[in-house]
Amino acid sequence: MSIRQYRPRGGRRRQIDNKKNLLLYGLLALSIALQMTYPLVHGDLLRTITIATVYCAAVAMITHSFFAFGARFAITFAILTFGYALGVEILGSKSGWPFGTYHYDSSLGAAIAGVPILVPFAWMMLTYPLLIAARKVGKSWVFLYGGLGLMAWDLFLDPQMVSAHRWVWEFHANATPFAPMVPLSNSFGWLLSGMGLMALLHWALPKDRRKGGANLTVPNIFLTWTWFSGVIGNLFFFHRPGLALFAGVIFALILAPYFFAQYLGQPDNY
């Protein structure tokens, strides 16, 4: 007997029209295609690909939030996440807390107080699908689940960006396992700041997907792709098999409860 929850056809939500779906899947496909080219290019083209990937993925997630939850959700999410991430990054780069001592390279484009504008958009592109996952897994632990998810994602992100000289760490303490160029304090910083952001968003944002809104396929694919590309990239292109296994297992363990809940067929409302 299957343990999946049965939902009759009459209880299913209407979906968005084909034009909106085409836009969503087009943005998702473009962001994934850009990421696929990352290990294949170098120099200024690599810088351009990096910037384009972040902006495209962030726009895809914000667009999905608009189609799935409405304008209030999308606008509030974008403003709060941008402001929070920028504030935390300015604090971190100026004071060394909570991440450690680091500074950004100018190659990431225009900056505010030394923090590239691109960086808060990078927060947006993973915060949104992880917020959805956290709300489905447990209403009382959204802040913790979401913070752990952001921390796990950064285990892939930071070594990749440091190797590309997008930012530089200065430290003499313990390093992250399999990433000697990144301090262990960075993981603590991501967990702490991620929990704060998730708590803020969970409090401020509507919790129900609107009738006729977009389903969760696009953010689910993006979460899966982020894990898959992190493992495959480190295993075959960046020559960091230990990191591929270490970060891959941690991220997979965090995502597993969400996708198991999806498999069981729990409703999309939170």
Q: Give the per-residue pLDDT at 267.
A: 54
pTM (predicted TM-score):
0.93
Q: Give the per-residue pLDDT at 208.
A: 87
**Rounded average pLDDT per 10-residue block, the chain, 270 residues:** 48 74 98 97 96 98 97 98 98 97 96 98 98 93 97 98 96 95 98 98 92 93 98 97 98 97 67
- CB–CB of 127/152 below 8 Å? no
Q: How distant is the alpha carbon of residue 38 from its chain centre? A: 17
Task: Look up residue 208 and give its DSSP letter.
Answer: S
Q: Give the per-residue pLDDT at 266.
A: 58
| 263 φ/ψ angles, rounded to the nearest 5 degrees | -65, -35
> What separation in angstroms does the CA of 159 have from each of 29, 181, 223, 253, 260?
25, 7, 19, 20, 29
Q: Give the per-residue pLDDT at 139.
A: 82
Nearest to 101 by CA among 170, 192, 182, 23: 170
Task: Look up residue 17 and give its DSSP letter.
Answer: -
Checking DSSP bridges between strand 175-176 and strand 179-183, what pairing results, if any? antiparallel
Nearest to 74 by CA among 204, 194, 267: 204
* 159 strand-pairing partners: none
Domain ranges for the chain, please list them: 16-264
